[in-house]
Amino acid sequence: MNASYVEENAAQRRRLSALTMGLPEAELGRDVGNGWSVAAKLVHLAFWDRYCLALIQQWERMGVTSSPAEVDAINEAVRVLSAAIPLAATAELARAAAEAVDQKVEQITDELAAAIEGAGRTRVLRRSEHRREHLDQIERALAG
């Protein structure tokens, strides 16, 4: 397994935890832009980390395959559904999902990692990139 994935994922997971631990509900409800709140962005991160975990688990069983996803439509569905999740639960969902996928990435074989990379799906392993993007947005929104 590529040690840089593990290190980068862990760094962004720690950043997620530091940013969200004890974050008041008022801050979780803060607008991030384009109809997204901080809480909705956290649910978005949780969803995609869980999605990547499910992909890796499937690929362990069946080999790496490609399947198209309508990312914008999925993101819109997640944004809308996130409103039904209590604000206080969103941070824990994001932290738990990040921990779960990072543990799986740490455990996969070099062969599976190479197959994922070869299929052009490196972002499934390098969860830090997605987290960094949205944690930057959240930090900007919280800064005001």
Question: Has residue 1 got a pLDDT over 70?
Answer: no
Average of per-residue pLDDT across 34-59: 98
Whole-model pTM: value is: 0.96
Q: Which residues contact 50 (CB under 8 A, 6 or more apart)?
A: 97, 100, 101
67 vs 32, residue with greater confidence: 32
> Residue ranges per domain, the chain?
3-143
* Sequential DSSP letters for the chain: --HHHHHHHHHHHHHHHHHHTT--HHHHT-EEETTEEHHHHHHHHHHHHHHHHHHHHHHHHH--------HHHHHHHHHHHHTTS-HHHHHHHHHHHHHHHHHHHHHS-HHHHHHHHHTT-HHHH-HHHHHHHHHHHHHHHHH-
Identify the band that residue 4 occupies on the pLDDT scale cut at 50, 70 and 90.
Answer: confident
Question: Has residue 8 got a pLDDT over 90?
Answer: yes
* Lowest mean pLDDT across 1-10, 48-57, 71-80: 1-10
Domain 3-143 architecture:
Up-down Bundle (1.20)
